[in-house]
Amino acid sequence: MKLKELESCLQQVDTFEEPKILLEQYPTSPHIAACMLYTIHNTFDDVEGKLVADLGCGCGVLSIGAAMLDAGLCVGFDIDDNALEIFKRNTEEFELTNIDLIQSDISSLSSDAYAKKFDTVIMNPPFGTKHNQGMDMQFLKTALTMATTAVYSLHKTSTRDHIQKKASDWGVNMKVIAELRYDLPASYKFHKKKSVSVSFDKL
């Protein structure tokens, strides 16, 4: 599947109807999702035939992309009923059967839950901007316990050094794969910055 095709398919994914600000709900743009997944698949071969987890999956853009790239199974994790409902609808519309969902709170998982159960973790975690500071690092830490091969994640560029330091503390390799500019949707009225550069890192 070509990148353009993937992006074009992901544009059809239904997204949040009433995003919950406190959960930092916004859809990963089809462009970013497609670029990210395409690289993970073509450069690193970490999607096809792999057991993939999508933490904070929301409406499932990343999972749907992974499923379309023939992940063995992609399991989406999210805390919110509404998001999971939309995700479910999406999997039915796309007729994808290599997807499963679990409703859970990633930030309160015990350290051995799902430990080393997945080949790859992909995610666009909450950045911790809504009274939930440190959320992105919690997600990252958990993701690292779950994956045996790699974690691919989106983070604010401004946190890169912090993540690099944490990565060495945790004994994992971190690499910046790409830096992308993302314009957060206007639904977030009180965001001061309109665009945030995010880089996604292979850990």
Give the residue with the Cβ less far from other proteins, 62 or 84.
84
| Least distance (Å) between residue 77 CB and other proteins | 9
Tell me if residue 118 falls in helix, strand or coil. strand
Confirm or reject binding of residue 97 to other proteins (CB under 8 A): yes
Contact 80, 20 (CB under 8 A): yes
Q: Output the CA–CA distances (angstroms, integers) from residue 139 to 17, 52, 71, in the order listed.
A: 24, 15, 22
Give the residue with the Cβ less far from other proteins, 138 or 164.
138
Per-residue x/- mask for other proteins, residues 15 to 54, rule CB under 8 A? ----------------------------------xxx---
Q: Which of 99, 52, 108, 122 is nearest to 79 (CA)?
A: 108
Per-residue x/- mask for other proteins, residues 105 to 124, rule CB under 8 A? x--xxx--xx-xx-x-----
Among 44, 72, 159, 167, binds other proteins (CB under 8 A): 72
The one segment of 1-9, 57-65, 96-104, 188-196 that binds other proteins by CB under 8 A? 96-104
Residues 6+ apart with CB under 8 A from 16: 25, 26, 27, 58, 59, 82, 83, 86
Instruction: List the beta bridge partners of residue 154.
Output: 200
Ramachandran bin of 85, using left for φ above 0, alpha for ψ from -120 to 50, beta for the remaining angles = alpha
CA 89, CA 201: separation in Å to the nearest integer?
Answer: 30
Among 40, 66, 75, 144, binds other proteins (CB under 8 A): 75
The tokens describing 144, both together, are: 């690292």
Among 66, 101, 147, 174, binds other proteins (CB under 8 A): 101
Give the residue with the Cβ less far from other proteins, 73 or 177.
73
Contacting residues toward other proteins, per CB under 8 A: 49-51, 72-73, 75, 79, 84-85, 88, 97-98, 100-105, 108-110, 113-114, 116-117, 119
